[in-house]
Amino acid sequence: MSTSSTIVWFRQDLRLADNPALLRAAESGSVVPVYVWSPEEEGDWAPGGAGKWWLHRSLESLDGSLREIGSRLVVRRGDSLQQLRAIAEETGAERVFWNRRYEPQAIERDKQIKASLAEDGLGVESFNAALLHEPWTVATQQGQPYKVFTPYWRACLKQDIRREPLSKPKTLDAPGSWPKSVELDSLALNPKIAWDAGLAETWDVGEAAAMKRLRAFAKRGMADYGDERNRMDHDGVSMLSPYLHWGELSPRQAFAAADKLREKDPGAADGVKVFLSEIGWREFSYHLMYHFPTVVDQPLREEFTRFEWDDDREALKRWQRGQTGFPVVDAAMRQLYATGWMHNRARMIVASFLTKDLLIPWQRGAEWFWDTLVDADLASNTQGWQWTAGCGADASPFFRVFNPVSQSEKFDPQGDYIRRWVPELGGLDRPHIFQPHEAPPGVLRAAGVELGKDYPLPMVDHGEARKRALDVYQSMKN
C-alpha cells in the first residue's frame, strides 16, 4: 500500500460509514481527517445557535469514532484554503478529498479551493455523499430543472442509482506526523448562556445515535408513517432531520433501511413509500436551490417581489416567543426553542401564521428557524418557507391559509401537544384548549386561566387576518 497521505476535509458529512471521500482516501494510503471552522465563508448562513450546539457534539463524536479506528480529527479554524494548504505542508499530504456541498456560497468557495489546491500540485477530488440524486442528474425532457415535485420524484425513482451504502473503513493509517489541532472548545460553538438543557435532553448526537434512531424508526414507525406523520401529538415521524443535515446519516442509509423493511414486511410498503417521498422532498429542495440559487433569500415566483409585507418587529417577537394567543402556534414555537426541532405539520402552521395572519416576510421566519433549528438546512428551510408562503416552486397556493384551530382539532385532537408545550393551558379540555378566548369565563376560571395575564389574548382575529392577506395577495396580482 502506498504511504502517501490524503487529507479528508469533513464538512456536512460527519460520519465514517457511507462516506465516499473517506473510503477512497483510506484506499489510497494514510489519511488526515480535518474539520475547518470557517463561519465567515458561509455568507449570511453560518450555522445558528442550535446548529453550532449540534456541530460541537458531532465533531466530538466523529473524533471518538476516528480514534476507534486508529485515527483522530484535526480541528482548525480560519480560512479553509490556507488551513488545507498548511496541513498539506505539515503532513506532506499529496491529495485533498471531500464530499460535495450544494449551497451557493459553498459551491463558489469550493470551486476556488479546488483550483488553488490543484495549482499547488495536489490531487483534488470531490464526491457525492449527501444526496441520492445530485441536482444536475435529473432534468425534464426539455433538459430543464424540475419545478414540480411529483414528476421530479417520478424521474428520480426511474433512475438506476447505487442503493447500497458503502461500509466504513475498518482502520485508517495515520500520517507520519499529526498536524496541529485546536481544542474544540476554542471554536466557541457552545452557547455562552445555558439555554440548551432541552436540546441535551432531546438529542443524542453523532453517527451511532443516527443509526440507532434509524433502526428504531424502521422497527416501530416507518410502516405507519403514512397515517401518523401528521399527528403532532404522536411520535410518528423519524426525527432524523438533524442527522441528515449534518451528514451523520446519509439518505442512502435511510433508503437502504426502508428497502429492507419493505422486503421483510410487505404490509409496510405504503408507509415506506411515503417516507421515501419525504426524503425525495429533501432532494427536491437541493435541486431547486442548486438551479435557482437566489431562492435562499428571494421568492422563486417573481411576482412576489411586489408583495406588500408588513415587517412588524414586535409581532415577530411575539411569534418567536410563542406568545401569539393561538395555542398550537405557541406550542410549536416553544417546542422549537426548547428542543431545536419542530414537527413538520407544526412548521407549516407557524409559517402560515407568520406569513399570512401577520403578513411578516417569510425571510424573517426562515432566519429565526435558521438560528433555532438543530436541522437548519438552507435547501429544506428555504423550500419549506417558500412553499408555505406560496412563492416557491410547487408551493401551497397563497390563498390556502392554515386555520390554527381546525389544524389542532385535526392533528392534535385531544390537545396533548398544546398541553405539553403550553402548560398554562393544561387545565383546559378540548375544544377550549384549541381557542381559549372562546371559552366561557367559568371554564377559564375553573382551569385557572386568566386571559391577558396567564396566557395572551389572540394577537389577531384569524378570520379578519385571512381576509387582509387575501386582499394584499389580490392587489399584488392586479
User: Which positions are catalytic?
Assistant: 278, 281, 309, 344, 362, 385
Query: Are the C-beta atoms of residues 88 and 234 closer than 8 Å to each other?
Result: no
Bridge partners, residue 451, by sequence: 455
Least distance from C-beta 23 to ligand FAD, angstroms?
23
**Pairing between strand 74-77 and 123-127?**
unpaired
Which C-beta is closer to ligand FAD: that of 327 or that of 392? 392
C-alpha cell at 297: 433569500
Which parts of this chain interact with ligand FAD (CB under 6 A)?
A: 229, 237-241, 244-245, 278-279, 281-282, 285, 344, 347-348, 351, 369, 373, 375-377, 380-381, 383-385, 388
Least distance from C-beta 251 to ligand FAD, angstroms?
8
Least distance from C-beta 229 to ligand FAD, angstroms?
5
Least distance from C-beta 380 to ligand FAD, angstroms?
3
C-alpha cell at 277: 417521498
Q: Which residues contact 159 (CB under 8 A, 6 or more apart)?
A: 133, 137, 138
Q: Which residues contact 22 (CB under 8 A, 6 or more apart)?
A: 8, 16, 31, 33, 97, 168, 169
Look at residue 202 and give its three-state secondary structure.
helix
* Cα gap 463→357, rounded to integer Å: 9
Which C-beta is closer to ligand FAD: that of 87 or that of 333? 333
Which C-beta is closer to ligand FAD: that of 213 or that of 318? 213
Which C-beta is closer to ligand FAD: that of 67 or that of 154? 154
Least distance from C-beta 42 to ligand FAD, angstroms?
15
Which C-beta is closer to ligand FAD: that of 184 or that of 389? 389
The residue number whose beta carbon is nearest to ligand FAD equals: 384
Nearest residue to 225 (alpha-carbon basis) of 240, 243, 212: 240
Phi, psi for 235 (deg, rounded to 5): -95, 60
C-alpha cell at 180: 496541529
Look at residue 190 and give its three-state secondary structure.
coil
**E strands of 222-285, at which residues?**
none
Phi, psi for 214 (deg, rounded to 5): -60, -45
Least distance from C-beta 292 to ligand FAD, angstroms?
16
Nearest residue to 398 (alpha-carbon basis) of 363, 352, 331: 352
Which C-beta is closer to ligand FAD: that of 61 or that of 285? 285
Which C-beta is closer to ligand FAD: that of 337 or that of 455? 337
Distance of CA 256 to the CA centre of its chain: 21
* Cα gap 181→263, rounded to integer Å: 46
Least distance from C-beta 260 to ligand FAD, angstroms?
16
Least distance from C-beta 457 to ligand FAD, angstroms?
26
Which C-beta is closer to ligand FAD: that of 88 or that of 373? 373
C-alpha cell at 408: 389542532
Place of cell 489510497: 28
DSSP for 80-149 reads HHHHHHHHHHHHT--EEEEE---SHHHHHHHHHHHHHHHHTT-EEEEE--S-SS-GGG---TTSPPP-SH
Query: Are the C-beta atoms of residues 383 and 288 closer than 8 Å to each other?
Result: yes
